[in-house]
Structure 1
Amino acid sequence: MSETSPTDGRALRWAGHREARRLEIVDAAVAAIGEHGPDVTTEQIAARAGVSRPGLYRHFEGRDDLQSAIAARSVERLVTELEPVWRPHGRPFEMLARALRAHLRWLSANGNVYRYLKRTSFGTGGESATTNVRATVAEHVAGMLVDGSLGAEIEPAVAHPLAFGLVGMVDSAAAHWLDAPHGASLDQLVAQLTEACWAVIRATVGPARLDAAGSP
């Protein structure tokens, strides 16, 4: 059995320290975005992180790498916020309402971060970070439709387009509400979107196939 040499051990500890420091800077960047908005400057991020601008980029391979790391961290936080939704319990209609409330609550509390994500590429694919969020959430929703968590087992060929359509509708409506609420409260938007999504599910699946316990 091979043993780790002292040199290897020091290298591992140093790599761990660098990764931890990088994460601290990313969290500081997210906080700076929340404070200053999506047009936050590198100088504002560096100040929040307690480093100089050159010091900031010792941890990242340029601005694109920093933006990608911020996007990845923000997506991770949102998915964590929604994680309880993926453990379904209760009536399907109520589960849908809880999922929408969790998403809109996060959006309301992190509006500047969301706006930043809309204009930021994620990874190397060139897609926006919000596109990545929609895809992640839609895959979860599709799984719930397939396994019957939302009232009826739906074949994947129907469930996946339905899930992506529902998530796209919610994301578009929520983004508009964030910038122009027109007097609608979060509770009102949750109720409206829950009814709309449920109506689409019923129209696609057929009311007779839905579990009666899922009806509002």
Structure 2
Amino acid sequence: MVNNSQTGLPGGPAADAAGTPAGSVDGRASRWQSHREERRRELIKSARKAVHALGSDASMEEIAAAAGTSKSVFYRYFGDKAGLQQAVGEVVLSQMQRRIQEAAQGAQTPREGLFAMVSAYLQMAETSPNVYTFVTRYTPGDAGAANSTIATAGALGHFFAAISDMIARPMHSHLGDSAGREAAIGYWPNAAIGLVRNAGEQWLASPPSPAKPDQEAMARQITDWLCLGIAPALRSGPNTAAPAPTPAPTSAPTLSEPKKEST
């Protein structure tokens, strides 16, 4: 007579070579995977706090020390610094994308939408320039810097592609499918991303000074450049008053330690 419990045939529980039921093995594997995922989330949060305090060029050893663990733990979970940047970047950029999308949804016109999106982007980057730089730039000369760029390009590319699509949708609705407007809809959103990012990052890196605009003024200026270019400024001269700004979003979560997130 054949014992089904030993052969794993239908009607009897499957077992591994040691005679342990497969369900027990699956349960342990599931619990271990959950533990690893929770530990990974904790390390990402700790890394964000460390980078916020120490700077975007903090080493793995410094980040691990601030997290109260060893760098070997970070290497075990993320492989190298590029892997950590990618993991933090996925969380940070996803959060920024949601915040920008929320800001744009309340806009009544395409221009208001642009202003809301630029404001949200600058607000979140300003909450922690160190964290923003950590997930978008890489220190030249670091070991594996080239690989870092490749490793994190996915999260960063997805972020800017999503923002470009957010810009393109209202433009398409506003301009329609009229002949001759394909270039505006097809190319302008990506060009806008380049302007916003480069102007925003230069503003973010500039030291405080009387000449540096605050966040709302910078968002208004970038929006004017996007909608009107610099021709009005060239025509009007230095003494012409700027138009009244659209109200900026009042608050935004921080990049260093968001109030609530699924990291």
1:166 is matched with which residue?
192
User: In the alignment, is residue 79 of structure 1 matched against residue 97 of structure 2?
Assistant: yes
- Distance in 2, matches of 1:194 and 1:117, equals 25
The TM-score normalised by the length of structure 1 is: 0.78
1:26 is matched with which residue?
44
- Distance in 2, matches of 1:89 and 1:26, equals 33
1:57 is matched with which residue?
75
Q: Partner letter of residue 202 of structure 2? A: H
After superposition, the Cα gap between the structure-2 partners of 1:143 and 1:36, relative to the gap in structure 1 and judged at 3 Å, is: same
Runs of 4+ that moved beyond 4 A: 1-4, 128-132, 154-157
- Distance in 2, matches of 1:184 and 1:89, equals 24
> Gaps spanning 5+ residues in structure 1: where?
201-215
Larger relative CO (CA 8 A, sep 6+): 1 or 2?
Answer: 2
- Distance in 2, matches of 1:185 and 1:83, equals 22
5 Å-filtered alignment, 1:117-128, equals 117-120=135-138, 121=148, 124=151, 127=153
Contact 2:64–2:71 (Cα < 8 Å) also in 1? yes
Contact 1:33–1:112 (Cα < 8 Å) also in 2? yes
- Distance in 2, matches of 1:29 and 1:135, equals 26
5 Å-filtered alignment, 1:56-205, equals 56-120=74-138, 121=148, 124=151, 127=153, 130=156, 132-146=158-172, 148=173, 151-153=174-176, 158-180=184-206, 182-199=211-228
Q: Partner letter of residue 57 of structure 2? A: D
Bigger drift between 132-141 and 33-42 goes to 132-141
Find the structure with the greater CA-based Rg.
2
Contact 2:101–2:166 (Cα < 8 Å) also in 1? no
Secondary structure in structure 2 of the residue aligned to 1:39: coil
The TM-score normalised by the length of structure 2 is: 0.65
Q: CA deviation at 1:93?
A: 2.2
Contact 2:107–2:116 (Cα < 8 Å) also in 1? no
Q: CA deviation at 1:157?
A: 5.0
Bigger drift between 24-33 and 88-97 goes to 88-97
Contact 1:145–1:159 (Cα < 8 Å) also in 2? yes
Secondary structure in structure 1 of the residue aligned to 2:78: coil
Report Cα offsets for 1:87-130 as digits up to 9, x if no partner. Answer: 35423322221111111111111211222223244664x63865
Contact 1:118–1:129 (Cα < 8 Å) also in 2? no
C-alpha RMSD of the superposition: 2.8
- Distance in 1, matches of 2:31 and 2:171, equals 44
Contact 1:38–1:115 (Cα < 8 Å) also in 2? yes
How many percent identity over aligned positions?
26
Report how many residues are paired.
197
Q: Partner letter of residue 71 of structure 1? A: G
Report Cα offsets for 1:44-86 as digits up to 9, x if no partner. Answer: 2112322122222222223332222122222122112223035
